[in-house]
């Protein structure tokens, strides 16, 4: 047995098996479940670490299983998949910690953590998928495994949100399937490869390929919340905070954005996509979504809803960076894949703490939060400033590179879009920060579970502090080896064949 062939399978199984075992645990087996959860998450991080080191040393990790004749299930580790796999496994670890603290004493925890683990396995599968078919399978698995998480509370509102979620994502999946099958008939089994795989096909089947691209991007655009396919995302925020964190930063939205990146760079190839002329419309839609999401976020009083619209906007930075044809914007887009994740997860963690500990759900109830919970609010502040793009936090780094890419390709309008979005981000984040830090609290907290003093539970507090530290580190040490920026540069060099 060759370890290199099995590593990727182990990475998948580390969370999948954990999830299956957790289903069969009794509801009261709190310790065992937590232990299993953390063990699975840690094991995954370690295995992904092994994979990173291996990929750096030019090891080839590949696992192959024949589904049908001529159609393989392929797992492969390349620079791009490592980026996403690392993000999701590290964030899953902190989210697990957070979820354990958050759901303390609530019913159906075995169900929750079971699906939680499966959801992450699916995400890792999406990251490691070596061809479109494999990608699709894990992508659909992700949809199905997140549904129980969205409707976890079982209220009318969450069921409604779950329905919307399914409608959107399954229709998106159907389009994706259609595109995949069409492409298969056209070009046979096509595997992802850095630099693209369809350059030859493009010369003969130009219009078909354009149609396929449209189908694939529309299908992926649902999860990536591109306008006007974003409707499910603000609704899904009725789910518990750890699920929101998962949806927005680790798994679902990211899987969509990652899919777009994969399709553009590793399926079509950025040069082919540019030659087909499909990048400019994608850039246009992304740019519109960026502004639209920000404008909508401005008018939300519900904190999580505001954050949800902010995600709509910020995830499109990734699509914009991808679609602006240029070396530097690619770096920016890929970096933002990671940076948006760590910033948004911090914000949702904090929103969860505010709701869980003090019953604060609305922006208008946040006055004086900074004095009550200085650490949580500090984490929130760092992430919010990062979202605006204030240097030296993570968001600035990716924005800078997308901006450079825009200038480099002569798309000055995209710089204007970035500036407008930053202004809007400032308009909906800075008042929150002002109220939380500098306004005097007059009314009592809506529901104070901590009896008048202090922060939330340490299991709730530690995760946002860790991710906020990452937000700072990713910006301040942007040039250090192993920073997301460096890794994105590495990938981009391969994609553009430098």
Partner 1 sequence: MNFPDFSAALLLGAIALPLLLAAGMARRGWRSCLLMLAPWAALPALVVVFVVPQGTAAYFPWLFFGSHLGFDQTGYIFLLFTSTLWLLSGLFAQTYLADDTKLSRFFAFYLLAMAGNFGLILAQDLVTFYVFFSLMSFSSYVLVIHNGETESLRAGRIYLCLVVLGELMLFAAMVTMATNANSVLLRDAIAVPMNDVTLALLLFGFGIKAGALPLHIWLPLAHPAAPVPASAVLSGAMIKAGLLGWIRFLPLGLEAFPQWGALVMGAGLAAAFFGALVGVTQTNPKTVLAYSSISQMGLITIAVGGVLTVPSLWPTLIMAILIYALHHALAKGALFLGVGVASHTASRTQRLWLLVGMLVPALALIGAPFTSGAIAKTALKTDLTSLPTPWADVLQIALPLAAVGTSLLMARFLWLLWSKPAALGHSRAGLWITWSLLLVAVALIAWILPIANGSAQDAVKFDKIWAGLWPLAVGILMASVALVRSDRGGGIRYPEIPAGDWLALFTWAAPYTARMGRTLASDTLTDLWNTTTASMFQALRRPAPDQSWSRMEDCLKNWSVAGMTLLCISVILYLLTSAW
Site residues (CB under 8 A) for partner 1? 164, 167-168, 171-172, 175, 207, 210-211, 213-215, 217-218, 221-222, 228-229, 231, 234-235, 276-278, 280-281, 296, 298-301, 328, 363-364, 374, 385, 389-392, 397, 399-400, 403-404, 406-408, 412, 415-416, 418-419, 422-423, 426-427, 430-432, 435, 438, 475-480
Beta bridge partners of 73: 65
Per-residue b or e along 357-391, where b marks 16 or more CB atoms closer than 10 Å to that residue's CB: bbebbbbebbbbbbebbebbbbbbbbbbbbbbbbe
Best CA proximity match to 340, nearest among 463, 465, 224 = 224
35 vs 416 by CB, closer to partner 1: 416
Closest CB 195 distance from partner 1, rounded Å: 21
Is 9 or 170 the residue whose CB approaches partner 1 more closely? 170
C-alpha closest to that of 206 among 186, 191, 177: 186
Q: Which is nearer to partner 1, 11 or 363 (CB)?
A: 363
Nearer to partner 1, 60 or 167 (CB): 167
- The least CB distance from residue 428 to partner 1, in Å, is 9
Cβ 404 to partner 1, closest distance in Å?
5
Choice between 54 and 281, CB closer to partner 1:
281
Minimum distance of partner 1 from residue 222's CB (angstroms): 7
We find the least distance from the C-beta atom of residue 219 to partner 1, in angstroms, to be 8
Closest CA to 78 of 40, 52, 103: 52
Nearer to partner 1, 217 or 287 (CB): 217
Structure tokens at 248: 């927005």
CB of 11 to partner 1, least distance (A): 30
CA distance 434 to 237: 24
191 three-class SS: strand
Contacting residues for 31 by C-beta, under 8 A, at least 6 apart: none
Query: Of 31 and 498, which has the nearer Cβ to partner 1?
Result: 498
Q: Whole-number minimum distance, CB 90 to partner 1, in Å? A: 20
Separation in Å, CA 153 to CA 30, 105, 147, 243, 359: 19, 13, 12, 11, 17
For 179-183, the CB contacts below 8 A with 24+ separation are 179/212, 179/213, 179/215, 179/216, 179/219, 180/132, 180/133, 180/136, 180/216, 182/208, 182/211, 182/212, 182/215, 183/132, 183/212, 183/216
Q: 50 vs 298, which CB is nearer to partner 1?
A: 298
DSSP assignment of 35-94 equals: HHHHHHHHHHHHHHHHHHHHHHTT--EEEEEEEETTEEEEEEE-HHHHHHHHHHHHHHHH
- Cβ closest to partner 1, residue 188 vs residue 228: 228
Torsion-angle region of 248 (φ positive above 0: left; ψ -120 to 50: alpha; else: beta): alpha
Closest listed residue to residue 51, CA positions, set 14, 82, 30 = 82
Report, in Å, the least distance between residue 107 CB and partner 1.
Answer: 28
Q: d(Cα 331, Cα 390) in Å, to the nearest integer? A: 19
Q: Output 318 or 474, the one with its CB closest to partner 1.
A: 474
Nearest distance from residue 278's CB to partner 1, in Å?
5
Minimum CB separation of residue 478 from partner 1 in Å reads 6
């Amino acid at each position: 047995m060759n370890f290199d062939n099995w590593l990727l399978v182990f990475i998948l199984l580390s969370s999948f098996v954990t999830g299956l075992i957790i289903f069969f645990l009794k509801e009261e087996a709190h310790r065992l479940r937590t232990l299993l959860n953390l063990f699975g998450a840690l094991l995954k991080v370690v295995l992904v670490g092994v994979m990173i080191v291996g990929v750096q040393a030019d090891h080839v990790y590949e696992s192959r299983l024949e589904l049908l004749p001529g159609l393989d299930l392929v797992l492969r580790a390349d620079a791009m998949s490592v980026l996403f796999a690392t993000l999701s496994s590290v964030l899953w670890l902190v989210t697990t910690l957070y979820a354990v603290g958050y759901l303390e004493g609530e019913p159906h925890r075995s169900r929750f953590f079971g699906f939680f683990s499966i959801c992450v396995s699916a995400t890792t599968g999406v990251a490691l998928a070596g061809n479109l078919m494999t990608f699709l399978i894990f992508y659909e698995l992700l949809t199905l495994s997140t549904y129980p998480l969205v409707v976890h509370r079982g209220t009318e509102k969450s069921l409604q949100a779950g329905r919307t979620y399914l409608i959107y994502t399954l229709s998106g999946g159907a389009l994706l399937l259609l595109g995949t099958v069409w492409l298969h008939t056209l070009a046979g089994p096509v595997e992802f490869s850095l630099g693209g795989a369809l350059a030859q096909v493009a010369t003969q089947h130009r219009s078909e390929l354009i149609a396929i691209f449209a189908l694939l991007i529309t299908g992926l655009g649902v999860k990536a919340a591109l306008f006007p396919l974003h409707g499910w995302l603000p609704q899904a925020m009725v789910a518990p905070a750890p699920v929101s964190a998962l949806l927005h930063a680790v798994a679902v939205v990211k899987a969509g954005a990652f899919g777009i990146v994969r399709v553009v760079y590793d399926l079509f190839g950025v040069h082919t996509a540019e030659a087909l002329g499909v990048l400019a419309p994608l850039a246009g839609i992304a740019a519109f979504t960026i502004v639209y999401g920000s404008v909508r976020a401005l008018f939300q009083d519900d904190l999580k809803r505001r954050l949800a619209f902010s995600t709509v906007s910020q995830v499109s930075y990734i699509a914009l960076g991808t679609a602006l044809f240029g070396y530097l914007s690619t770096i920016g887009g890929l970096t933002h894949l990671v940076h948006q994740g760590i910033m948004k997860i911090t914000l949702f963690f904090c929103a969860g703490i505010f709701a869980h500990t003090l019953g604060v759900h609305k922006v208008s109830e946040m006055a004086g939060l900074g004095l009550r919970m200085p650490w949580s609010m500090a984490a929130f502040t760092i992430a919010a400033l990062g979202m605006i793009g204030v240097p030296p936090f993570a968001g600035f780094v990716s924005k800078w590179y997308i901006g450079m890419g825009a200038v480099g390709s002569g798309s000055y309008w995209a710089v204007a879009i970035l500036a407008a979005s930053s202004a809007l981000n400032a308009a909906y984040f800075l008042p929150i920060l002002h109220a939380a830090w500098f306004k005097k609290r007059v009314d009592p907290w809506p529901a104070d579970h901590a009896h008048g003093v202090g922060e939330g539970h340490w299991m709730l507090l530690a995760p946002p502090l860790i991710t906020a530290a990452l937000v700072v580190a990713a910006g301040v040490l942007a040039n250090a080896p192993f920073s997301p920026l460096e890794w994105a540069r590495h990938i981009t060099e391969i994609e553009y064949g430098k």
